Amino acid sequence: MSTTTQTEPSLLARASNVKWSNYVVYIGFVLVFVFFAITQTQYFLNPTNLTNIVIQAAPITIMAIGMVFVLSTGEIDLSIGSTVALSALTAAVVLQSTDVWWIAAAAGLAVGAIVGLVNGIFITWVRLPSFLVTLATMGLVAGLARQLTDLQSVPVTDKAFVWIFGGGNLLGLPIMVWWTIAAVLVGWHLLRQRRYGAHVLAVGNSAAASRVSGIKVNRVRLMVFVGSAMTAAVAGLLYAGRLQGARYTLGETDLMTVIAAAIVGGTSLFGGKGTVIGALIGSLLMSMINNGLILSGLNVSQQMIVRGAIILIAVSFSLRGKKNS
Amino acid sequence: MPSETVLPDRTDSGTPAETPLRLVGIHKSFGGVVAIKNFDLDVKAGEIVALVGDNGAGKSTLIKIISGLYQPTEGEIWLNGQEANFRDASDARAKGVEVVYQDLALVVDQPVYMNMFLGRELTTGPLKILDRKRMATETQQLVDALDVRIPSAKATLSDLSGGQRQGVAICRATHWASSLVLLDEPTAALGVAETAKVEELILKLKARGAAILIVSHNMDQVFRIADRVSVLRRGTQVATRSLADTTHNELVAMITGLAS
Ligand SMILES: Nc1ncnc2c1ncn2[C@@H]1O[C@H](COP(=O)(O)OP(=O)(O)OP(=O)(O)O)[C@@H](O)[C@H]1O
Ligand SMILES: [Mg+2]
């Protein structure tokens, strides 16, 4: 074994070397949980309520996992919120005319694939910054969603669709929990166990180093945007199934929550570092805060204020540590 | 001043197998800017050739051409007797050409073993899952064999010093190079002790029979480790000399173009 010529660092030195910022999300999660458990004991700890937290979080969790890949390459995707609405509305409209759940779902997913490809192509081929491209497609897609049904909501009544993307129950667990588990497993596998994930992180760290190492940088970038838009499309289907209808406002306010969940979870806003499990915990944390604030009887505007403040605190904790390390 | 390299006979079907690198009439221009004109060089197995010249002379450009990042405007690259046409860096890597860059082509947030296998990660099973264990073990063996002192193959690169990082980069080149290693100012950012360590590594590479082309601004270093030196001045190859046949002053004169 080759070791450093210096002596091993003492236990104390090693303890202070631990990157606490990596654990901020878990500590925060426990603190918030304990806080609401004490202040709202009666309702908060109710198993139905706890399951609800996971169910409510499902679309955010899935999109946050897509966002982890985008942020890990050092890019950002602002268009996910609008993609949610367009995917949900497209699926609902197709469902109305075909009455076949999987054709509707495929149509919704196709919307995601197209938006992702458009983002990816403008970012890799035209070489525009992802911030600008996705800002533009955010508006463009939102416009399409409004245009599609002329601002009208579309009901979703198909039983199979509503079961699969909303209220279903499988082996005693709500279908939303299964969606969450599936997304986490797929995301974790791709990021941690595949060469693709290693390349995503490498590109975010140094695109130049990746290029000279033979990594197809542009293909990796394109793929993360397709993946991110696809997670938004899935989230759109889940909203349509759970709310049994689609509306152009779906996903409107999700962008901030998704980015916050990913960053609080330990994914770097500057690329190179990403964690799928962290995004899950981050998303559950956001959902828990939401839930607790409602139980505390705050009105919608007060909730927004408190949530914004909490996100600010949480994000500054995780980002400060990152820069120092 | 004409180059002392003997031009290869173009009717010859191939160069001798012991010539890992042969450059013939390499010319490169970027739009109107001529970066390299008519460059010829042979590098033999177990030989270290230094490439020297002032800032902007075209040294890095030449390294990038040999490593497939740039395509020469004119000229031929021969590797082990075969003409090579690289479309990109992965082509050159597939032919066993490895490069150690001035600005460290490594990813700092990843462990040492991931850097060692960057772009060529090992996988296992039908699902092609990353074989982190085997990558870490092989990295550790290589690092031990070359005596590069790092805490562990699993250490994150950002926790290593500049010299340790360059050590990792050279290990990587050693691991993958089948015959040719290009080094572009590998010690530019290093202190005295770390430079010595890296030079030691380069000499080990040479002992293993690699052909080595190294760019350096440090004349003492050139005299310490190189067998021959080729001088570039504003894209023109001024001379190629055996170090035994030249002096420090002559070299400086050739680089600057001023008589000493
Ligand atoms: N991609 C490019 N596009 C246009 N011009 C370039 C490009 N790369 C290099 N050059 C030009 O080619 C010339 C040689 O540059 P090069 O980087 O090879 O120099 P160098 O010898 O490595 O210098 P240094 O010692 O400073 O590293 C310079 O005039 C540079 O401006
Ligand atoms: Mg250079």
Mean per-residue pLDDT of chain A: 89
Whose CA is closest to B185, among B222, B159, B230? B222
- Inform me whether the pLDDT recorded for B17 exceeds 70: no
- Whether pLDDT at B70 is above 50: yes
Distance of CA A40 to the CA centre of its chain: 27
pLDDT of residue A268: 86
* Residue A17: predicted pLDDT: 53
| Max avg pLDDT among A140-149, B140-149, B171-180 | A140-149
- pLDDT at position B7: 41
Structural domains of chain A, ranges and CATH numbers in brackets? 22-319 (1.10.3470)
Pairing of strands B211-215, B48-52: parallel
Tell me how far the alpha carbon of residue B229 is from its chain's centroid: 14
Residue B187: other Cβ atoms inside 10 A? 24
Which residues lie closer than 8 Å to A314 by C-beta, 6 or more apart?
Answer: A24, A25, A28, A260, A264, A285
Residue in B107, B123, B144 nearest the CB of A205: B107
Residue A199 pLDDT exceeds 90: yes
For the beta carbon of residue B243, count every other beta carbon within 10 angstroms: 18
What integer pLDDT is reported at residue B113 of this predicted model? 96
**pLDDT for B4 beyond 60:** no
Give CA–CA dist A226/A122, Å, rounded. 12
SS3 A170: strand
Residues of B with CB below 8 A from A215's CB?
Answer: 118-119
Q: What is the pLDDT of residues B226-255, one digit of tens each?
A: 999 999 999 999 999 999 999 999 999 999
Under the banding of pLDDT at 50, 70 and 90, the label for residue B198 is confident
Q: How confident is the model at residue B11 (pLDDT cuts 50, 70, 90)?
A: very low
CA nearest to A212, candidates B160, B65, B89, B229: B89
Helix (H) or strand (E) holding A173: strand A173-174
pLDDT of residue A79 exceeding 60, the answer is: yes
A positions 207-246 inside 8 Å of B (CB): 208-215
- Amino acid letter, B25: G
What's the 3-state SS for chain B?
A: CCCCCCCCCCCCCCCCCCCCEEEEEEEEEECCEEEEEEEEEEECCCCEEEEECCCCCCHHHHHHHHCCCCCCCEEEEEECCEEECCCCHHHHHHCCEEEECCCCCCCCCCEHHHHHCCCCCCEECCCCEECHHHHHHHHHHHHHHCCCCCCCCCCEHHHCCHHHHHHHHHHHHHHHCCCEEEEECCCCCCCHHHHHHHHHHHHHHHHCCCEEEEECCCHHHHHHHCCEEEEEECCEEEEEEEHHHCCHHHHHHHHHCCCC
- Tell me the mean pLDDT in the region B53-70: 92
Query: What confidence tens digit (pLDDT) does each residue in B127-165 have?
Result: 899 999 999 999 999 888 878 888 999 999 989 988 888
**Domain-wise residue ranges, chain B:** 21-105+166-256
Q: What ipTM is given for this predicted complex?
A: 0.80
Residue of B61, B66, B236 to mutate, ligand 1, most atoms within 8 A of C-beta: B61
The predicted pLDDT at position B137 comes to: 95
Per-residue pLDDT, B90: 82
- Helix, strand, or coil here: A81? helix
CB distance B119 to A213 below 8 Å: yes
Which pLDDT band, with edges at 50, 70 and 90, does A223 fall under? very high
Which amino acid belongs to residue A142? A
Specify the amino acid at residue B196: A
> From A208, which residue of chain B is nearest by alpha-carbon distance?
B105
Tell me the H-state helices in A99-194.
Answer: 101-124, 130-148, 159-162, 175-188
Query: Which residue blocks in chain A are alpha helix, DSSP H?
Result: 11-17, 24-39, 41-44, 47-72, 80-98, 101-124, 130-148, 159-162, 175-188, 195-205, 207-212, 217-243, 254-264, 276-295, 300-324
Question: What is the nearest CA distance from B251 to chain A, expressed in angstroms?
Answer: 32
Q: What's the pLDDT score for residue A310?
A: 76
Q: Which CATH architecture has domain B21-105+166-256?
A: 3-Layer(aba) Sandwich (3.40)
Ligand 1 pocket residues where CB is under 6 Å: B 30, 33, 35, 53, 55-61
- Asked if pLDDT for residue A294 goes beyond 70, the answer is yes
The verdict on a CB contact (< 8 Å) between B130 and A194 is yes
B86-116, pLDDT tens digit by residue? 888 888 888 889 998 866 689 999 999 999 9
List the Cα angle B44/B49/B51 in 5-degree steps.
140
Q: Which residue type, as a one-letter code, is found at position B116?
A: M
Computed over its alpha carbons, how large is the radius of gyration of chain B? 19
Is A231 strand, coil or helix? Answer: helix
C-beta atoms of B107 and A193 within 8 A: no
Mean pLDDT for the stretch of residues A24-38: 88
List pLDDT tens digits, range A169-183: 899 899 999 999 999
Share of chain B above pLDDT 70, in %: 91
* pLDDT higher at B158 or B6: B158
Query: What is the rounded CA–CA span in Å between residue B239 and residue B217?
Result: 16
Partner-chain contact B105 A199, CB within 8 Å: no
DSSP 3-state of A101: helix
Average pLDDT of the residues in A225-229: 98
Tell me which range, A90-94, A153-157, A315-319, is most confidently predicted by mean pLDDT: A90-94
pLDDT at B15 over 50: no
